[in-house]
């Protein structure tokens, strides 16, 4: 019994020792596991620089969402450890706010709040991140002399000199100045202060003699604008516009301070562009509309910094930003400017950041993965998106305020599926047949336009091509000028729309030609401007003043010098002045109108006008028998008008002048021609000249026989010679567009 008791006691002691050993081992493992978790071991502010240390190697992201007074450091898979409160350095004016992010990925976030804008340069080595902070232009606030604003007010708001963050005043968004442009000279004087009222806002325009770099901030019911190193040369507006109550100005040692008193707190935007600063005060109804929008719709840059990675609160609120998104235009970058500094960062949180900055909803395909390292300063957000898309060879589509990002192959697949679906609908759809009567055009030409055919006829049918589907067809009934189309309803509607455009009445042109014979020398007094900018074709080269050096023969009653040697010419003249002058010349016998034909021609159709004579000349046939042969000598004009969209008329002119000449045994017809294309105004007169006739007469009278005695015969005869009388034939062409009756 005693032995059994000792045995049981020994067993119990052994079991206790085993349990103790297990507990010790487990605790050791847990402690070892806890020691392996990356944690921030130290955050220090040394000589204005920030030093962050960890027990493990880590990656980081530094970015500033266009807020010059705040910089954020994001460290994934990191614990903030014991640093849960604010770290403030009065000496350097820095404040660090650590935050532990648990969702969707555990990370440590450090917000560094600056009193003045500064450039931050990160350096990482041996688990230590050192941030070198170099102040740019510190703002010194001397005692303010205005009675309503005191230095105490400024000291109570350490961030009063800064642009307001969106978290404090969501509607106050200060637009970034385009720093990429060529910097202008700094302003030294304020030259103008103007007030303008628009539908949605009251705008304050401050203009200087150079670039203005202002500090703008609200204070109670005031807007304070500090402009360094300038003097006020402009007069303050005497009359103000609500919600403004008054405008005051105060000169300080190193700056000019403008104070805009408001009747009530008002949201405003500030834009500094070149030599001017524009402050836009929103109207009351616009503010009321904005206050009704959910907080998630605000696209502030401050909130965008908090979205990488997104907190659980942010992920639970839908982004409703349709009213603030800007349209995306390919090749143009107009988005808000941001500064980013990423080192081997996942691209998904960056897309989320761009969504918050832009106001667009961004949907990323699950297949999109990758990491990127980039450093961008003051770059439009849409350009950042474009760079990332090109880097990973991915694409995007924009539908309203939603941007869908996916691989290019995904979009190609969707396009193929749409094409296949459309083809399937065309294959399975019911065909509709309709006869369309063509009023003015040619049914055959319209059939060729819609189906790509080349012929016409009631039995000819064109299948597919052009607007026709593979199953569609079109045929023509030439007798009734009807187009018979059989196709899907959607294609039939497109064809009818095209026919409505093509089947219209062609405009008509009245062509009036006047052929006049004028005594030599008087053509220069008609006010004709010879020469012009015309394109010519044909066998004869026309250049310079458009003279064709082809001699024009002329007939006279007793001609010894038949014809002149002056060619056809082209010119412009005023029709009404010409008509009056020709009438005056006819009155004194210096002009004669040979013909005045008129003809109506369709647009782009030829019209022919000709005048001449037919001669019958006695000739011999092959057997030597006499016969009469017909010879024609005409002055012919062929004109093809084309009306241009701007109201001019383009004329394609072919002019021929044929004359009969008896030379030797057989008669000869001299042919001369001119081809030209001229552009004239509606109702303007085109002149063709250079056709000359020369009449020279010689008459001898005297006593028979005696007048033929050499030398002495002059005593018994009289010889009279007249001429040469030279006359010029001018052809006037006046095209006029005929108004169509509706």
Residues 6+ apart with CB under 8 A from 65: 72, 301, 302, 304, 305, 338, 339, 353, 357
- Please give the span between the terminal C-alpha atoms of the chain, in angstroms, as a whole number: 133
Query: CATH classification of 171-291 is 2.60.40.3500, yes or no?
Result: yes
Calculate mean pLDDT across residues 226-235.
Answer: 86
> Tens digit of pLDDT for each residue in 244-257?
888 888 877 788 88
Q: Are strands 231-232 and 189-197 parallel, antiparallel or unpaired?
A: parallel
Range from 140-144, 258-262, 421-425, 653-657 carrying the lowest mean pLDDT: 140-144
Calculate mean pLDDT across residues 380-386.
Answer: 90
> Tens digit of pLDDT for each residue in 564-584?
323 344 445 555 555 655 666
Range from 59-63, 148-152, 354-358, 411-415 carrying the lowest mean pLDDT: 148-152
Residue among 270, 392, 404 nearest 328 (CA): 404
Grade residue 85 by pLDDT with cuts at 50, 70 and 90: confident
Mean per-residue pLDDT over the chain, rounded = 72
Q: What residue has token string 């296949």?
A: 420
Calculate mean pLDDT across residues 390-394.
Answer: 90
Calculate mean pLDDT across residues 466-476.
Answer: 85
Calculate mean pLDDT across residues 709-720.
Answer: 78
Q: Where in the chain are all domains bearing CATH 3.55.50.30?
A: 298-411
pLDDT over 80 at 119, yes or no: no
Q: How high is the pLDDT of residue 160?
A: 36
Class of domain 298-411: alpha beta
Q: Where in the chain are all domains bearing CATH 3.30.1370.120?
A: 429-502
pLDDT over 70 at 98, yes or no: yes
**Higher-scoring residue by pLDDT: 137, 499:** 499
**Higher-scoring residue by pLDDT: 330, 513:** 513
Residue among 703, 693, 700 nearest 721 (CA): 700
* Integer angstrom CA distances of residue 674 from 107, 606, 637, 653: 88, 16, 10, 8
> Tens digit of pLDDT for each residue in 657-693?
787 776 666 677 777 777 888 888 888 888 877 767 6
SS3 417: helix
Q: Where in the chain are all domains bearing CATH 2.60.40.3500?
A: 40-135, 171-291
Q: How high is the pLDDT of residue 45?
A: 85
SS3 716: helix
Report the DSSP beta bridge partners of residue 717. Answer: 702
Grade residue 641 by pLDDT with cuts at 50, 70 and 90: very high
> Tens digit of pLDDT for each residue in 184-210?
678 888 888 988 887 778 888 898 888
Q: How high is the pLDDT of residue 477?
A: 92
Q: How high is the pLDDT of residue 560?
A: 33
Calculate mean pLDDT across residues 636-640.
Answer: 87
Query: Burial level of 205, CB count in 10 A (0-12/13-18/19+)?
Result: middle
pLDDT over 80 at 464, yes or no: no
> Tens digit of pLDDT for each residue in 24-43?
444 444 444 445 688 999 98
Q: How high is the pLDDT of residue 405?
A: 93
How many whole angstroms separate alpha carbon 156 and alpha carbon 136? 23
Q: How high is the pLDDT of residue 674?
A: 74
Residue among 166, 169, 162 nearest 136 (CA): 162
Q: How high is the pLDDT of residue 456?
A: 38
Calculate mean pLDDT across residues 577-602.
Answer: 70
Residues 6+ apart with CB under 8 A from 335: 326, 357, 358, 380, 381, 382, 383
Query: Burial level of 123, CB count in 10 A (0-12/13-18/19+)?
Result: exposed
Q: How high is the pLDDT of residue 236?
A: 84
pLDDT over 50 at 137, yes or no: no
Calculate mean pLDDT across residues 399-407.
Answer: 90
Calculate mean pLDDT across residues 102-115.
Answer: 82
Q: How high is the pLDDT of residue 568?
A: 41
> Tens digit of pLDDT for each residue in 522-543?
555 555 545 443 333 333 333 3
Grade residue 406 by pLDDT with cuts at 50, 70 and 90: very high
* Integer angstrom CA distances of residue 477 from 265, 438, 481, 496: 77, 10, 6, 17
Query: Burial level of 62, CB count in 10 A (0-12/13-18/19+)?
Result: buried
Q: How high is the pLDDT of residue 135?
A: 67
How many whole angstroms separate alpha carbon 638 and alpha carbon 649? 15
Options 1.10.1740.10, 3.50.50.60, 1.10.560.10, 3.30.1370.120; CATH of 429-502? 3.30.1370.120
Q: How high is the pLDDT of residue 726?
A: 75
The fraction of the chain above a pLDDT of 70, given in percent, is 67
pLDDT over 70 at 291, yes or no: no
Grade residue 13 by pLDDT with cuts at 50, 70 and 90: low
Topology of the domain covering 40-135: Immunoglobulin-like (2.60.40)
How many whole angstroms separate alpha carbon 485 and alpha carbon 492? 7
Q: How high is the pLDDT of residue 476?
A: 92
The fraction of the chain above a pLDDT of 90, given in percent, is 6
Q: How high is the pLDDT of residue 222?
A: 85
Calculate mean pLDDT across residues 337-347.
Answer: 84
Calculate mean pLDDT across residues 721-735.
Answer: 77
Q: How high is the pLDDT of residue 436?
A: 92
pLDDT over 70 at 285, yes or no: no
Query: Burial level of 21, CB count in 10 A (0-12/13-18/19+)?
Result: exposed
Q: How high is the pLDDT of residue 513?
A: 82
Calculate mean pLDDT across residues 41-49.
Answer: 84
> Tens digit of pLDDT for each residue in 607-622?
888 878 888 877 778 8
Q: How high is the pLDDT of residue 575?
A: 56
**Higher-scoring residue by pLDDT: 453, 703:** 703
pLDDT over 60 at 18, yes or no: no
SS3 482: strand
Grade residue 300 by pLDDT with cuts at 50, 70 and 90: very low
Grade residue 588 by pLDDT with cuts at 50, 70 and 90: low
260 touches 214 (CB < 8 A):
no
Q: How high is the pLDDT of residue 287?
A: 53
């Amino acid at each position: 019994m005693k032995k059994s008791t000792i045995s049981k006691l020994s067993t119990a002691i052994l079991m206790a020792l085993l349990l103790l050993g297990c507990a010790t081992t487990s605790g050791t493992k847990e402690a070892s596991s806890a020691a392996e978790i990356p944690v921030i071991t130290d955050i220090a502010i040394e000589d204005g620089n920030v030093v962050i240390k960890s027990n493990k190697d880590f990656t980081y992201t530094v970015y500033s969402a266009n807020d010059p007074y705040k910089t954020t450091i994001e460290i994934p898979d990191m614990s903030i450890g014991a640093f849960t409160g604010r770290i403030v350095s009065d000496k350097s004016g820095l404040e660090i706010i650590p935050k532990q992010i648990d969702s969707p990925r555990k990370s440590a976030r450090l917000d560094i709040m600056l009193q003045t804008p500064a450039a931050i340069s990160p350096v990482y080595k041996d688990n230590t991140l050192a941030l070198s902070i170099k102040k740019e232009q510190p703002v010194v606030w001397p005692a303010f002399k205005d009675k309503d604003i005191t230095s105490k007010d400024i000291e109570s708001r350490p961030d009063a000199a800064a642009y307001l963050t969106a978290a404090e005043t969501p509607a106050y968004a200060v637009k970034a100045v385009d720093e990429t442009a060529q910097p202008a000279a700094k302003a030294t004087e304020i030259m103008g202060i103007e007030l303008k009222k628009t539908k949605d806002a009251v705008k304050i325009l401050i203009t200087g003699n150079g670039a203005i770099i202002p500090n703008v901030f609200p204070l109670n019911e005031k807007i304070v604008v500090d402009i360094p190193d300038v003097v006020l040369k402009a007069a303050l507006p005497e009359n103000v516009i609500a919600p403004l109550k008054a405008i005051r100005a105060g000169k300080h040692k190193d700056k000019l301070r403008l104070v805009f008193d408001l009747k009530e707190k008002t949201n405003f935007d500030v834009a500094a562009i070149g030599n001017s600063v524009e402050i836009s005060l929103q109207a009351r109804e616009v503010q009321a509309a904005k206050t009704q929008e959910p907080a998630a719709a605000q696209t502030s840059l401050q909130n965008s910094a908090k979205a990488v990675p997104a907190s659980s609160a942010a992920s639970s609120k839908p982004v409703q930003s349709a009213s603030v998104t800007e349209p995306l235009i390919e090749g143009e970058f107009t988005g808000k400017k941001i500064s980013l500094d990423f080192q081997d960062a996942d691209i998904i949180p960056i897309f989320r950041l761009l969504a918050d900055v832009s106001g667009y909803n961004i949907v990323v395909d699950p297949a999109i993965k990758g990491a990127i390292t980039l450093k961008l300063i003051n770059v439009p957000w849409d350009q950042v998106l474009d760079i990332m898309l090109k880097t990973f060879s991915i694409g995007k589509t924009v539908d309203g305020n939603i941007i869908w990002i996916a691989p290019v192959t995904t979009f190609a697949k969707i396009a193929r599926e749409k094409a296949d679906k459309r083809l399937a609908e065309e294959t399975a759809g019911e065909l509709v047949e309709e006869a369309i009567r063509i009023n003015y055009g040619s049914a055959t030409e319209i059939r060729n336009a819609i189906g790509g055919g080349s012929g016409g006829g009631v039995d000819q049918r064109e299948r597919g091509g052009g607007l026709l589907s593979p199953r569609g067809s079109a045929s023509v009934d030439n007798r009734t000028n009807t187009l018979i189309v059989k196709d899907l309803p959607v294609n039939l509607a497109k064809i009818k729309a095209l026919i409505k455009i093509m089947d219209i009445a062609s405009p008509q042109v009245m062509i009036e030609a006047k052929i006049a014979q004028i005594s030599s020398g008087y053509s220069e007094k008609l006010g004709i401007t010879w020469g012009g900018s015309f394109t010519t074709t044909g066998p004869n080269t026309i250049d310079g003043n458009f003279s064709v050096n082809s001699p024009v023969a002329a007939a006279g009653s007793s001609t010894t010098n038949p014809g002149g040697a002056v060619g056809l010419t082209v010119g412009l003249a005023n029709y009404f002045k010409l008509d009056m002058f020709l009438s005056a010349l006819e009155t004194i016998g210096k002009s004669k109108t040979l013909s005045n034909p008129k003809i109506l021609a369709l647009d782009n159709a030829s019209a022919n006008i000709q005048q001449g004579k037919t001669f019958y000349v006695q000739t011999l046939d092959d057997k030597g028998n006499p016969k009469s042969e017909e010879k024609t000598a005409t002055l012919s004009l062929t004109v093809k008008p084309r009306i241009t969209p701007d109201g001019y008329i383009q004329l394609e002119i072919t002019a021929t002048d044929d004359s009969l000449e008896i030379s030797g045994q057989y008669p000869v017809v001299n042919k001369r021609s001119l081809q030209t294309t001229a552009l004239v105004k509606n109702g303007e007169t085109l002149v063709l000249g250079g056709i000359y006739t020369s009449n020279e007469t010689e008459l001898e009278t005297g006593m028979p026989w005696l007048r033929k005695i050499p030398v002495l015969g002059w005593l018994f005869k009289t010889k009279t010679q007249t001429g040469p009388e030279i006359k010029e034939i001018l052809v006037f062409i006046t095209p006029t567009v005929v108004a169509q009756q509706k």
